[in-house]
Every structure is written in C-alpha cells, then in structure tokens.
Amino acid sequence: MDTGTLLNVAFAGIAVFGSVLTALAFLAVRRLPTPRMALVAVGFLLIAVQGVVVGIGLFEGGWGDATLLLISAAFEAALLIVLFVATLLR
C-alpha cells in the first residue's frame, strides 16, 4: 500500500471518528448543558475538521507537506487551547 493512500485512509478515519465523537458530545451537551461539556464537543469538532481539511489536502495533492504539517499543527494547538480552557472552568 502506498504511503499517500495510507495517509488518506488514516485522515479519513480520523474525520469519521471525530465526527462520531462530536455528535455524541453534542448529544451530551443537550442532556447536561455545561460550558465544559460544550468545550469538549468543540474540541472533538476541531479534530473532525482537521481530518477533513488535511485529508482533502492530501487527496487533492495541491498542498506541500510543510503546508499540511502547519495546518495540522494549528488545529492541534487550537485543540490544546480549548481543552486547557475546559479544565480551567468551574
């Protein structure tokens, strides 16, 4: 299996898994509407969007590796910020 194909499958899996976790988290927010739970749902949404954006970038092939790495790092930094804020909320 080609490395490019493996990366496409991996990021598609991340997007699908992130989408499922996002849906479950937003259902949990409906049952328990707390800001902390909403931030966790937003964190899962960031992971799902990262999987889609990077997956499309890999599939289309128009972006370089450095660009994809930078986009992935930006999404992960945003996720870390969201989770940090979620831990600070009381």
**Six-digit token string for 61:** 């092939």
Quick one: pLDDT at residue 64? 84
Give me the residue spans of the domains in the chain.
3-88
At residue 39 the predicted structure's pLDDT band, cuts being 50, 70 and 90, is very high
pLDDT digits (tens, 9 = 90+) for 45-85: 999 999 899 888 888 877 888 888 899 999 999 999 999 99
Chain-centroid distance of CA 36 in Å reads 17
Residues ≥6 apart with Cβ < 8 Å to 17: 51
Confidence check: pLDDT of 90 > 80? no
Residues ≥6 apart with Cβ < 8 Å to 55: 8, 11, 12, 14, 15
Query: Which burial class, exposed, middle or buried, applies to 77 when counting CB atoms under 10 A from its CB (0-12, 13-18, 19+)?
Result: exposed
**Six-digit token string for 54:** 């990077």
